[in-house]
Amino acid sequence: MTETGDGVLAWMVLRRVGDYREGWRRHSASAGVSVAPEPGPFPIRVQTEADLEAERFEMLAWEDPGKADGSAFWLQEGMPEGVLEPGAAPLVGLVGDRGSVEGLRLLDGDLVLRIEYGDAAVQVRLGNVARFPDDGGISIKHPFGLRIPLSVRRLLDFWSVAGLPAPRNGKGRGAGFGRSTGW
């Protein structure tokens, strides 16, 4: 869903669909033991076996339909692949005041980052990342294995694709765990 840049809009619609709301109720009632979030510079949720049932809604994990803002973690063909980039500007500081970064640690060990700015959301998959460092920055790998020049140092690549101006530097919403995420 986020391939077209419509992840935020899709979430606004899906969270109102009766079948999804019922699936969420069953999931949340049977969840029982919640998994502690992973430490990091932004909220990182850990995927559970129960989250795999959300695939029928094209999602990587269940999201609380009462969550009013932001997007969800979507199944996505051809998700951009990222790598930790030594020396790159810290990711959280790049999203600005209107943006956020959240993560989902998949059962296979990969980490999916959801980067939001205004009404746009982009997902990036990082493999072989044991823990995202507090000062971590990323670059995007080209399908041929090359890294995109300038990487994500200003997030210009993401926001220009979304048709939005680049955010101002500043502390993003995803900088801490104080935000209510419904997890």
110 confidence band (pLDDT: 50, 70, 90): very high
33 or 6, which is more confident: 6
150 or 71, which is more confident: 71
CA distances from 58 to 10, 45, 171 (A): 11, 18, 31
| pTM score | 0.75
pLDDT digit string, tens, across residues 65-107: 987 677 789 998 888 888 888 777 788 777 767 788 999 999 9
Amino acid making up residue 154? R
Q: Which pLDDT score, from 0 to 100, does residue 182 have?
A: 30
pLDDT digit string, tens, across residues 9-59: 788 888 889 999 999 888 877 665 556 789 999 999 999 998 999 999 999
